[in-house]
Structures are given as structure tokens and as C-alpha cells.
Structure 1
């Protein structure tokens, strides 16, 4: 398979973060700087009802619950986590700088009230465990998905 390994992203623009970062309900071209080469978080162990404000859409091969933004109450505190690079070369990456500022303003506002409670072990799992390997080979796979036999 060739990157990107997602087919787009659903943006929950009614989320208060997007009062500070204008967006459509999908990741259009102005999201490229944030999502290109970014990792996703596998949210399989999160409550079924949780929807990430930035929810990558998995490939047609899979249908995992993914996120690029997570907010939760953990041990009585508030956690905001993103897998987007909002730190590197901000003098040249205007969209990343704008997203970083929007996140910081959101987190310091009264709007930042995570409703979902998550056990610390779920967060540790996201940070430390690699997702299980997936063998997508079938006899019906297109050539680019078949293993290269040498």
C-alpha cells in the first residue's frame, strides 16, 4: 500500500475548536499541511460514542475508529492530544501555526470541558503500543497490494 493510508477526514466543525480555526466538514486542501505524513490514533478502546473532532476516514480495506485529536478527562484532569505536527517549522507552516494557536486558545477558554472520562491505561496504550499488523493480501487484491515475491 502507498500512503496516505486514509481516504480523508471528517471535521466536526460544530466543536468549539473550530470557532478558532475555520473549516469545512471535510479535510480539504487547506488541511494538507496538517494531515500529510501525520499519524492517526487508533481509538478502538475509547467509548463507542466518542467522536474525534478530526476523524480520519480509514481505507476501504478497513473500518477502524481513528482520530487525530482526542480530548478527555483523565484522573480528574483535562487532556488534549493531537497527532498533527503543530510544532515544527512554524515560521514556514502557516496552517500548523494557526492550528496550534487555535488549540492553545481553545484549551485556555471556558469551552474546554472534556465530557468523556478515560482510564490512564487507554492513553498509555495509544502512546506506546503499535497497532496490530494487518495482512490485506487476497487473491482479489490489485497488483500494488500483493506481496512482492523475488
Structure 2
């Protein structure tokens, strides 16, 4: 959710490193220019979360939006808060409790705080997971974030 500068940098790094295939990624971004930029990488795209098929169960939902819109954006993904989808947020200053209030108390949540050089693969990142994140999801997210 969101594919601005940091989200796009992370996505393109994951694709370049081979950590993800473009066909495995669906980007939801309301801004047409940013959405087209993600589509040019070969990813599926849509302007809103409602375009995600009703029967879809994403392994991961990455929330890469500004903190001022985090509540509204996250609420659009509430249907995935049943424990089967891990949520990863790069929104600064948004505590896990905020996501738990919106998504429910069964949602696995990972918070990442990248610094600016992380956008070019030269930075560092602090990561926190709530107790609901499985070992497999922890490994998957750690592998992605190492790209």
C-alpha cells in the first residue's frame, strides 16, 4: 500500500535482488504516476485496496505511506487482519497498537524504521515484530529487508 519514494526504493531493491518476482507483487497506489512506475517494473497495480480479489490472502501487506494517512490506508486492509497475512509498516512514529486497533488483535505486525540511505540500499533499518509474527514470516521479512 503506497509506492512513493521509500516504498518504490524498497520494492525495486527486492525485485532487483530476486527476493520477489514482479508477478508476486500487487501495488495499491492512488497516484497514477506512482502506480505506473510500479507497473513498469512488471507488478500488478490498482488505485485502491478494494481492487484486490475478495478471495485473495496476501502473505504480506507492506504499508508504505505517510503517517498522516496511515489510519485510513490501513483500514482498507482490515479484511486481511485474521492472522494469515503479515503486515509490514515503514511509517515512522506509528506504534503497533495503532495497527492492532485498526486490524484487530490477530494481525501479525512488523514495524520497520529505515533511514534515508536505505532508499539506495546503503542504510540501516530497525525492525520490531509483535508476538503474532510467525518464525516463517520473520525469516521472509528479514530476507526482504536484507536486500
Q: Same fold (TM over 0.5)?
A: no
TM-score scaled by length of structure 2:
0.32
Higher helix fraction: Structure 1 or Structure 2?
2
- Looking at both structures, which has the greater relative contact order when contacts are Cα pairs under 8 Å and sequence separation is at least 6? 1
TM-score scaled by length of structure 1:
0.31
